[in-house]
């Protein structure tokens, strides 16, 4: 039986030889092995090579017949492809691996990176939003990307159409990281190929997916957790009420990051998600100064010439920072996001209760001290995000 040990409680030793690095890659690329299963296998067996030997028997015990781990030739082919691209394979615990990701419940064991890997050591903020963005949303994303870059923040996004594209373009000169849903050699969308090539030279492309993998729907929630994980804070510029961008915001809360949002007109459906976040306690953003103040870095931005200033909104007048205290604020409020934090706490309770062995949904509801009408939508959220899986017979387990 696989022992379910929390990966951050028992930090792994990074692979120190080429053989062990190949074993890490083979284990991770084996069928039905994700980060959670990888860390449990490594915790139980002590090394990836030993885990590979045990994997067929573990698979048989789980009801999988004729199971074989990833062949060495396939992993060697991926490593060769990475070398031909000039990419770097970063292993958790080894130099260059982003320390920010240690906060994740199941950090990716391996990451492919192409470009300026040193950007991972700098502070960064995520800038995300709608693919079908408005002209004002794009202007805001450009302004934030440009100004936050001037303030020495690396701008992190997902290379999607719309807000992501504007954020990357505005921060090319100061440092930007594109987190890919597929392999770093599979640019999506295809119209951003030229931008991706610029980011390879001036910024960084990064992904936990194998090289050659075309992004699929299930990859995007996984990508979103890395966007928020690499960031100090997540800024949502435009998002509809059911936008995938809100998954990134929920990941940020689960990971203890701040969530900020740009307000929009109540009649604009592209802004409804942002307005919901603000209603629930997200920090309101009117410009880069608001972001820097939320990060505790002060309101001052270094002056620098701005390209195409006509495309960036004029700075809004700043109110006095002397604010009267709220008369009925609870003593422990501390700037937290009340409703959002409650959702994140419930997600964590559910994930902590679930393990590799499936659990009946009614048993889960009994075990967790929360109303069933709150647990049911939380389970739906976690399933859509790819973090839990429903099994036959009303059973639920953590995704592998």
Q: What is the pLDDT of residues 77-110, one digit of tens each?
A: 999 999 999 999 999 999 999 999 987 888 999 9
Strand partners, 304: none
Q: Are 204 and 119 in contact (CB under 8 A)?
A: yes
Helix (H, G, I), strand (E, B) or coil at 150: helix
Residues in the chain: 400
Average pLDDT over residues 243-252: 90
* Main-chain dihedrals φ then ψ at residue 360, nearest 5 degrees: -65, 140
pLDDT digits (tens, 9 = 90+) for 167-210: 999 999 999 999 999 999 999 999 999 999 999 999 999 999 99
- C-alpha to C-alpha distance for 188 and 185, rounded to whole angstroms: 9
* Mean pLDDT, rounded, of the chain: 85
CA-to-CA separations, 100 to 46, 85, 92, 256, 345, in angstroms, rounded: 24, 26, 11, 11, 20
Residue 62: pLDDT band by 50, 70, 90 thresholds?
confident
| Whole-number pLDDT of residue 314 | 38
- C-alpha to C-alpha distance for 276 and 240, rounded to whole angstroms: 9
Domain ranges in the chain with CATH number 3.40.50.450: 111-295
Average pLDDT over residues 351-359: 81
Q: Which residues contact 321 (CB under 8 A, 6 or more apart)?
A: 299
Q: Architecture of 111-295 per CATH?
A: 3-Layer(aba) Sandwich (3.40)
* Cα three-residue angle 113-116-120, rounded to 5 degrees: 75
Q: Which CATH class is domain 340-398?
A: mainly alpha
Helix (H, G, I), strand (E, B) or coil at 61: helix
Domain ranges in the chain with CATH number 1.10.10.10: 340-398
Average pLDDT over residues 321-329: 36
Q: Are 194 and 220 in contact (CB under 8 A)?
A: no
| Whole-number pLDDT of residue 374 | 78
**Structure-model confidence comparison of residues 24 and 104, the more confident one:** 24
Helices (H), the chain: 18-29, 35-45, 48-61, 72-85, 135-150, 163-170, 193-202, 219-229, 245-254, 272-279, 288-294, 338-353, 361-367, 372-384
Tell me the angle at which helices 135-150 and 163-170 cross, rounded to the nearest 10 degrees: 30
Strand partners, 257: none
């Amino acid at each position: 039986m696989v022992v379910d040990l929390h990966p951050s409680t028992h930090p792994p030793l990074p692979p120190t030889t080429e053989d062990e690095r190949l074993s890490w890659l083979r284990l991770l690329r084996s069928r039905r092995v994700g980060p959670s299963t990888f860390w449990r296998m490594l915790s139980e067996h002590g090394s990836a090579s030993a885990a590979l030997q045990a994997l067929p028997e573990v698979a048989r015990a789980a009801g999988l017949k004729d199971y074989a781990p990833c062949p060495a030739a396939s992993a060697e082919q991926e490593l060769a492809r990475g070398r031909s691209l000039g990419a770097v394979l970063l292993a958790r615990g080894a130099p260059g691996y982003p320390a920010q990701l240690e906060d994740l419940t199941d950090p990716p064991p391996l990451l492919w990176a192409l470009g300026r890997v040193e950007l991972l050591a700098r502070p960064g903020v995520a800038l995300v939003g709608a693919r079908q963005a408005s002209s004002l949303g794009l202007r805001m994303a450009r302004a934030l990307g440009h100004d936050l870059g001037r303030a020495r923040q690396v701008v992190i996004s997902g290379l999607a159409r719309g807000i992501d594209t504007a954020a990357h373009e505005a921060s090319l000169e100061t440092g930007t990281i594109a987190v890919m849903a597929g392999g770093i050699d599979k640019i999506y969308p295809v119209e951003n190929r030229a931008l991706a090539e610029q980011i390879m030279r001036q910024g960084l492309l990064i992904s936990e997916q194998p090289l050659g993998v075309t992004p699929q729907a299930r990859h995007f929630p996984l990508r979103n957790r890395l966007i928020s994980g690499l960031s100090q804070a997540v800024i949502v510029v435009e998002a509809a009420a059911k936008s995938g961008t809100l998954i990134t915001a929920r990941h940020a809360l689960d990971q203890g990051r701040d969530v900020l949002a740009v307000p929009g007109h109540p009649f604009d459906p592209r802004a409804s998600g942002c307005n919901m976040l603000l209603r629930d306690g997200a920090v309101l953003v009117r410009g880069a100064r608001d972001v820097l103040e939320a990060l505790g870095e002060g309101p001052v931005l270094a002056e620098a010439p701005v390209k195409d200033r006509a495309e960036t909104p004029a700075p809004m007048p700043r109110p006095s920072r002397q604010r009267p205290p709220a008369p009925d604020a609870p003593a422990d409020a501390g700037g937290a996001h009340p409703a959002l934090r409650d959702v994140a706490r419930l997600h964590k309770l559910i994930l902590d209760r679930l393990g590799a062995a499936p659990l009946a949904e009614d048993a889960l509801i009994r075990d967790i001290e929360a109303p069933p009408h709150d647990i049911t939508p939380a389970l739906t959220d976690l399933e859509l995000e790819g973090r839990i899986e429903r099994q036959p017979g009303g059973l639920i387990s953590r995704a592998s």
